[in-house]
Structures are given as structure tokens and as C-alpha cells.
Amino acid sequence: MKIEIKIIAVFLITGIISSFSNPAVIIKEPPVYKASKAKAPVRIDGDWNKKEWKKVKAADITHYMGKIPAFRPVAAVKMMYDEKNLYLIFRVKDRFVQCVNLEYNSPVWKDAAIEFFFSPDTDAPNAYFNLEINCGGSALMGYHNAAQKKNIQIDSNDIKQIEIAHSLPKKVYPEIIDPVTWTIECRIPLAILEKYTTITAPGPAIAWRANFYKIAEEGSNPHFITWSLVNNV
């Protein structure tokens, strides 16, 4: 998997151009997201419209993998950082929403969920974390480094340190068929990542590669949507 990195005086998220497991497909211009530095610690309450996020540009999650569903969710994400944390907020305009996986490291991707895959060590761009959170706020997380033959499930006590706010109830069943807008906001302490690998701290002229996802594997409207195009041929 290869990317082009554009270095400027902000912290960048550069999109992956194929799946982390498939380096075969190369696209000339992956997207670049300019992550803002937070002026103060961000309160985590799931409010997309609060002042801390007002001037932060959103990244739209629009690329479908596989079959395009009958109903197309509208999903976007914003990101900030400071010396100790990453901050993310997702907003999804959705239908056919369900959430039944309630434990840490349960298969939350089966529910209506968002995902953040990211490589925080610029010297090891193929090593990555996956953070996956369903619409009820249940999370799983892993770390993968093929060169070191590591596939680690992050300890649930570490995941608990990720502050998560969710606008929907923890369990959503039966499925919400009608239109519903839901949010996930989270604060990821960098110290958690440093327990598992070396990281390149966010800052000016630093570029991590990453991707954002909106998924729902089960339910009556399954789909898999990405910010940066993933081509699994």
C-alpha cells in the first residue's frame, strides 16, 4: 500500500489508497485531511454543532465498497488533536439502524458503526490501529504490524480510557427504520497508543495515513463506506 504525502505546516491525515491488507492498487492522488489543533481540551458530549467543532472542516465518507445499498447513509467526520489526545466526531444521517453488540471488543462492525484505521508511526506506515465504535458507543480496537508479526487485541482496560459519547442508546433493537441522525464523539489518549508502539506525535509537517469508515454488516441495509477509496481487486 503506497500513498503520496504532502508536507505543509499542519498535521495531516493522508488517505490510504487501498486496503491495509492489499497493497496492489495505486491511485495517484489520495485525499488529504488537515487536522486542526484544539485550543483547549474538548468536552466529549456528541454535539456536532458545538463551538469547538464549528470552524473545523468535515471529511465526507462517500466511497462504497461492494454493493451500493438501497438507502445511502450520509456520513462525515471531523478531527482535532492536542499534545495528549486525538479528538474525533462522526455524524451519520441514517436509516435501518441497529446495535446489539454491547461489550468491549465484541463484533461491533456488524452494527451501524464507524471506524478509524490509522498509522501513527511514520517510520512504520504499514503498521496500524483499528478503532471501531458502534452507534451505541461500544468499541473494539486492535494493533497490527505485519513486519513484527503482531496482531494484538487492545486490552479492554485501555479501551475504557477512550472517552466516547453516543447520541443513540447503547442498545438499538428492533431496527430503527425511519430516518435518524446519530453521532459518535471520542477522545483517544496518545498514551494508549504508546503502550503498543512508537508513535510520531501529531504536529506541524507531520502526516499520518488513515481512513474513516461508516459500516453496517448486518441489518436490512448492509453497506461499507470509506473516506479514502479502498479498492480490493
The per-residue pLDDT for 21 is 42
Q: Which domain holds residue 115?
A: 11-226
Evaluate whether residue 67 is within a structural domain. Answer: yes
The per-residue pLDDT for 232 is 64
Evaluate whether residue 2 is within a structural domain. Answer: no
The per-residue pLDDT for 28 is 52
The per-residue pLDDT for 86 is 98
- For residues 171 and 164, what is the distance between their CA atoms, to the nearest angstrom? 15
The per-residue pLDDT for 3 is 33
pLDDT, mean of each 10-residue run, the chain (233 residues): 38 68 51 94 98 97 94 98 97 98 98 97 95 98 95 97 98 98 98 97 93 97 95 62
Evaluate whether residue 5 is within a structural domain. Answer: no
Evaluate whether residue 3 is within a structural domain. Answer: no
Structural domain count of the chain: 1
The per-residue pLDDT for 205 is 86
pTM exceeds 0.75 for this model: yes
Evaluate whether residue 231 is within a structural domain. Answer: no
Burial per residue of 10-44, b for 16 or more beta-carbon CB atoms within 10 angstroms, e otherwise: bbbbbbbbbbbeeeeeebeebbbbebbebeeebeb
Peptide bond into 174 cis (omega under 30): yes
Please report, for the domain that includes residue 206, its CATH number. Answer: 2.60.40.1190
Per-residue pLDDT of 51-100, as tens digits, reads 999 999 999 999 999 999 999 999 999 999 999 999 999 999 999 999 99
The per-residue pLDDT for 231 is 74
The per-residue pLDDT for 13 is 86
Burial per residue of 66-97, b for 16 or more beta-carbon CB atoms within 10 angstroms, e otherwise: eeebeeebebbbbbbbbeebbbbbbbbebbbb
Evaluate whether residue 143 is within a structural domain. Answer: yes
